[in-house]
Structure 1
Amino acid sequence: MTRPDYPALLRADTDRLLHVADGHFDRPVPTCPGWTVERLVGHVGRVHRRAAAWLTTGGGAAEIERPPGSGSLVDWVRRGLDELLAAQAAVDPAQTVETWDGPRHSAFWVRRMAVETALHRVDGELAAGAPTPIDTALAVDGVDELFEVSIPHRGTGRLHRGGETIHLHATDPDLGEGAGEWLIVLGADAVTVEHAHAKGDVAVRGSASDLLLLLWNRVDSAGLGVFGDRTILERWRSAVTV
């Protein structure tokens, strides 16, 4: 499977979010309790600017302007996206960049923002209508990123870990052998994950998009194939609230 085109996907998902938000700024966002669509869109504009600041200054202490009112919010978000993509384009691909988790690969921020923006685009769609799938390559990469970046940083809350295993299997065609399968081991000392075709205590089958949305608590397991001990999956979803 080829690597996701992060800048193109980031722009496409931002454009889609702004499109679905048009005329619906006052609607509540069911997957972000207490937020309206206006606040969701403003948040996306702020995180894009925050990522651009990390890339240009090497730190996250820069003060980020607050979003304007809904009348000029769309243009403000577009300018923030342009700032982020320009900052990313100026980075030497061979160098590392500073992050809240120490030096990381040069694509850290554009990857992080592509995943987050895709998830928030789905949030906006859930508020204004029906969601559309996340790009398959980005969804697979997003599952990897969750276990490489977010879980080590955030932890797993109060999840009981006694060696149970969860197998995820993306059913999208043409992913390549092992690319869309993950074996997650809930070890007492750490959560480990590998791309593997294996049997877990619980197995979940679905599109890569649906698996990513499940792990990020945007959908439940109702539309997915779940086999084995479902309580392990529900414990995970209750404790790991990313």
Structure 2
Amino acid sequence: MRIATARSAIDYICGRTDQEQAEPVPNCPGWTVHNAAAHIGRVGIAWAEMISSAPDDPQSRERGYERSGRKLAGSPMTDLAAWAHSAIDRLVDDPDQRCYFSMTGGEGTARLWAWHAASELGMHRLDVELALGHEHSMTSAQALDAAEYTCQFFLPAMRRVLDRDPGRLTARLVDDGDEVGSVTIESLSESGSTAAAVIEGPPIQVLLGLWGRPHHGVEVCDGDSEVWQQWRALPSEAFQFGTWD
């Protein structure tokens, strides 16, 4: 399912018309739709390098992004899609293949990369759908899966980069009054801090909020709202890709 989700996102983002490619992406200031496609194409090159490398080869990340940076600006969408699909191709044969995984800075598997790809590429699809006024295609189940990845790997990685622990956060994903599921990021504080928050909202909107994107309908239903705001701020503070093209 995750590999199919990732491939579908690539085809959607890289399949836009010339006119659509020029549209700005409000969720990613400074980006157009073409910049979003350039991003997923270029990170595909970097992912492929890490997926092909041993778990104890942290230099594979630097090599991958150095390779991606050599690609020329203005690359056609067909090339961008091919680079992204090439990374996904490496995940098909053996899900338990051991390799370097950037979110933990160490050992991972092709299965983890597939989860990463479905979650990140799914998020960028949401960005482009919003930019073009298209209905969001992500299901509640996919949003929950992406939120679980985000809270287990992505946001903890951002926390490590900034060496800042906002506290314990629980997110409840609710669709038409029914809870689809919930995810929690535990605090790592050694000081015994009790800072915590519980948020609730529609699945896609919760996911957007976790990635620091504009969202609506998400409420802090318990605890300290500052915990939620600090978690939301981590992605853009920790790391932000340039436009490349």
Structure with a larger share of its residues in helix: 2
Does the residue aligned with 1:134 lie in a helix, a strand or coil? Answer: coil
**Does the 8 A contact of 1:20 with 1:125 survive in 2?**
no
C-alpha distance 171-20 of structure 1, shift in aligned 2 (>3 A): farther
Aligned to 2:81: 78
For 1:112-135, what per-residue CA distance to the aligned partner results, in whole angstroms no more than 9, with x for missing partners? 121111111122122222451533
**Which whole-Å CA distance do the structure 2 matches of 1:21 and 1:232 have between them?**
41
Aligned position for 2:243: none
Residue type matched to 2:71 in 1? R
Match among 5, 11, 14 for residue 9 of structure 1: 5
Instruction: Give the conservation status (yes or no) of the 8 Å contact 1:97–1:108.
Output: no
- Whether 2:218 is the aligned partner of 1:215: answer no
Tell me if 1:238 matches 2:233. yes
Please show how residues 92-171 of structure 1 align to structure 2 within 5 Å.
92-100=94-102, 101-130=105-134, 132-155=136-159, 157=162, 161=166, 165-171=168-174
Letter in 1 for 2:221: F
Q: 1:67 to 1:7 in 2, by over 3 A?
A: farther
Q: Which residue of 2 aligns with 1:29?
A: 25
Corresponding pairs, count: 221
2:220 alignment counterpart: 226
Of all paired residues, the percent bearing the same amino acid is: 24
The alpha-carbon distance between structure 1 residues 54 and 167, as it changes in their structure 2 partners (threshold 3 A), is closer
Contact 1:169 1:181 in 2 (8 A): yes
- Structure 2 runs not aligned, ≥5 long: 55-59, 239-245
The answer (yes or no) to whether the contact 1:21–1:128 under 8 Å persists in 2 is no
Q: 1:74 to 1:158 in 2, by over 3 A?
A: same
CA distance 1:184–1:42, shift in 2 (3 Å): closer
Q: Is the 8 A contact 1:125 1:132 kept in 2?
A: yes
Per-residue deviation, 1:208? 2.5
Two-structure CA RMSD over aligned residues (Å): 3.1
| Structure 1, unaligned runs of 5 or more | 192-199
Q: Match for 2:71 among 58, 66, 69? A: 66
- TM-score (structure 2 length as normaliser): 0.75
Structure 1 residues 39-54: aligned runs within 5 Å: 39-54=35-50
| Equivalent pair of 1:29/1:37 in contact (CA under 8 Å) | yes
How far did residue 10 of structure 1 move?
0.8
Cα distance per residue 1:184-230 (max 9 Å; x no partner): 44452399xxxxxxxx954322232221111001223x322432343
**Does the residue aligned with 2:51 lie in a helix, a strand or coil?**
helix
